Amino acid sequence: MKSLVSCVALVALVAGLGLHAQQRSQGYITGVVQGSQGPEAGVWVIAETKDLPTNFIKIVVTDDRGRFVVPELPAASYSVWVRGYGLVDSKPVQIKPGANAVTLTATAAKTPQEAARVYPGNYWLSLLEPPAAKEFPGTGANGLGPTMVSQNHWINSLKSDCNFCHQLGNQLTRSVNHILEAKPEIKTHADAWEWRLGTGVRGTSMYAVLNTQGKDRSLKAYADWTERVAKGEVPPAPPRPKGVERNLVVTLWDVGDDHSFMHDEVSTDKNHPTVNANGRIYAVSAGHGQLVVLDPNESSTFSLDIPTREPKEKVPSRFPAPNRPSLHWGNEHLWANPPYDPADPHNPMIDSKGRVWMTSKIRSNQDPSWCSDATNRFADWFPLRNSARQASFYDPKTNKFTLIDTCYSTHHLQFDNDADETVYFNELTGPIFGWIDTKVYDETHDEQKAVGWCGQVLDTNGDGKITKPWNMPASRGRDSVTYQGDTAGAAPGGQRGPSGQSSQAGRGETAFDPKLDTLVSYSMYSVVPSPVDDAVWGMSERYPGFLVRLQRGNNAPVSCKTEIFKVPEPGFDPRGIDIDSNGVVWTALAASSHLASFDYRKCKDMSGPAKADGSQCREGWTLYQTTGPKLKGTEIPADFHYYNWVDQHNISGLGANTPLATGSNSDALLALNPQTREWITLRVPYPLGFYSRGMDGRIDNPNAGWKGRALYANYGTHFVWHIEGGKGTRGKIVKFQIRPDPLAR
């Protein structure tokens, strides 16, 4: 259901009735968890209430004597129960916050299958056995797609293409029993998988991935997995939380509706984490074209429709109709417009003024004329003619949206710490680094004056500057570098089609001229400016992955210069990117399950001509593989890391510049100590299916210890009906706090 402005008035009315003071009064529940053998250490105590305006959950972990304290509870009646590895969920008891300690009874699981019901998805996914390394390369005739050069390519597709939308290994994905029951004409697991991968709003995409992987051999692998699970095979038991993991407090609020696709959330300005202190949390619903708002003080939520500049019927949706009817939604065209708004927001960020900036679609794909007009210096250097998403911001003070055209397609955004508070964007299907000078925009309200961009040009002639003409970009071969007669992105004269490919590509390859500089086209998934110099970094997923460094110089775009760095083995598939306060870049290698750092200060071979294959500065890379069970028959963990974040300001309490990755298959955020290579798992055990695409952190009160700061994330799956509870379940905002000990109040 589409939200209305009246929702805002309703929230104000509720506050005016006095619920604000009532819900902000904080209490706690304390006690001990006892099992048949004594106190249960390292298990979760879960308190949930529906008495507040939106569903509220708080989760803590027991200490080594089975004791617990659930702190900071709004006044309400709570259903309290125990979940833990080796246990079955206890029967909920109704408790109100108070001073009296309670005893909760834990029951041991009777069978391995009973215990495994609450294991994270990556443990279940570890039972899947990819095609063996000796079966590659794929030929088509052997059941594997010709682009599947190695086992790593198949695993890369499994994670980057399938995990891209949702968690793998959760209860719904590790079983096909519901399909066999609903479709009695389907007799085998292989046929059930074939049917499943063509259903619903993502059916067209899923079936295309299946064909790319190799339909016959891949169906055999998926069917083998679910057949063994159906016969009772279970993964190894995960370890219970230990050490600082037992100090974790997790708070969850319901937001959105039962088919929201909410991509990311934001709570503050990354560079100034006290901005918006104690304020609302914002998430973007890509499927509904909305800004979803949570007031954590009131435990209330509402949504605002994000406007478009052109009439909504002229703004195309990227979401196709179902290929086959979904078991959950039939032929309903989820996220199409109409009835949903077409803004398709992807990523929100807050600036120093508390405004919420987003990448969002404001018009049809055709760019305005100034994007290719030579009188614009950026268009003269890199003319652009179409883009799939632009920019907007919401000002909570005025309750108004402002729309900004960008010429380039936007995807993620990050604010620089410069005096102009420049916000940078990456182009997902092209070679462009783009930006908006927010100071210029605030002063002039002129998007043409505030918007700028640069393509990716390497100094391959080694003269220290970029000049025209240049070699045209590398073709999209998987591991080779060749040059063709036009750009796949945004070279002069080349118009991008919807896929990001040039309408003039294919006119014939040209020889590489070492006397010229070279335009390349590394489509980037993410972008981040450096806090210590003028560099801007982007991350390209082109296998095995490339880090792209742009220096704008003092006369962009003429002064823009690019360098490329290839992800080293055994890593592959970078997605997220962030940077620490020293300028060290961190990226999550989603498919190979690493966090990787790149320290440009370590580079020893950067003099002379730039290399277009990314082979420079291998010494700058360090790879840290995450823990957890590995896919059967491989050395690659079954987890997936959609994005990553660096805690520059020690908001978590784990130390300044602590890098974290999303454990998108493991119901967790994963924090790394680079010195010891130890991982800390911040697990969300309920509801199962926590799939985060990102995170951030905010300081509400720098003098209040752990209570004055927190990390935030959200359930960002395409399919909220995959979350424990099934259809009808809503998405959630998740708050993470680390106490000094498990009993801190």
Residue 338 has what pLDDT? 86
Strand partners, 644: 661
Residue 168 tokens read as 């793998």
Burial group, residue 665, by CB count within 10 angstroms (0-12, 13-18, 19+): buried
Yes or no: say if 302 and 10 are a contact pair by the CB < 8 Å rule.
Answer: yes
Angle, helices 203-213/215-230, rounded to nearest 10 degrees: 110
Yes or no: say if 672 and 697 are a contact pair by the CB < 8 Å rule.
Answer: no
Yes or no: say if 356 and 350 are a contact pair by the CB < 8 Å rule.
Answer: yes
Residue 5 has what pLDDT? 33
Residue 25 has what pLDDT? 62
Yes or no: say if 590 and 573 are a contact pair by the CB < 8 Å rule.
Answer: yes
The type of residue at 63 is D
Superfamily covering domain 6-117: Immunoglobulins (2.60.40.10)
The type of residue at 343 is A
> Where do the CATH 2.60.40.10 domains begin and end in the chain?
6-117
Residue 510 has what pLDDT? 65
Hey, is 546 helix, strand or coil?
strand
The alpha-helical segments, DSSP class H, found in 53-135 are: 112-115, 121-125
Yes or no: say if 663 and 670 are a contact pair by the CB < 8 Å rule.
Answer: yes
Tell me the Cα Rg of the chain.
25
Q: What is the DSSP string of 577-612?
A: -EE-TTS-EEEEETTTTEEEEE-GGG----SSSPPT
The 3-state secondary structure of 618-640 reads HHHEEEEECCCCECCCCCCECCC
- d(C-alpha 115, C-alpha 534), whole Å: 52
- d(C-alpha 440, C-alpha 447), whole Å: 9
C-alpha distance from residue 248 to each of 676, 681, 711, 737 (Å): 21, 10, 11, 6
Residue ranges of the chain with per-residue pLDDT less than 50 = 1-23, 475-508
Burial group, residue 14, by CB count within 10 angstroms (0-12, 13-18, 19+): middle
- Around Cβ 72, how many Cβ atoms within 10 Å? 15
Strand partners, 645: 660
pLDDT in tens, 534-558: 999 999 999 999 999 999 999 999 9
- d(C-alpha 652, C-alpha 669), whole Å: 12
CB under 8 Å to 555, separation ≥6 — which residues?
none
CA-angle at 193, arms to 134 and 684, nearest 5°? 90
Residue whose C-alpha is closest to residue 362's, from 345, 349, 380, 378? 345
Residue 474 has what pLDDT? 54
Yes or no: say if 396 and 324 are a contact pair by the CB < 8 Å rule.
Answer: no
Residue 19 tokens read as 């619920």
Residue 99 has what pLDDT? 82
Region of residue 70 (left: phi > 0; alpha: psi -120 to 50; beta: else):
beta
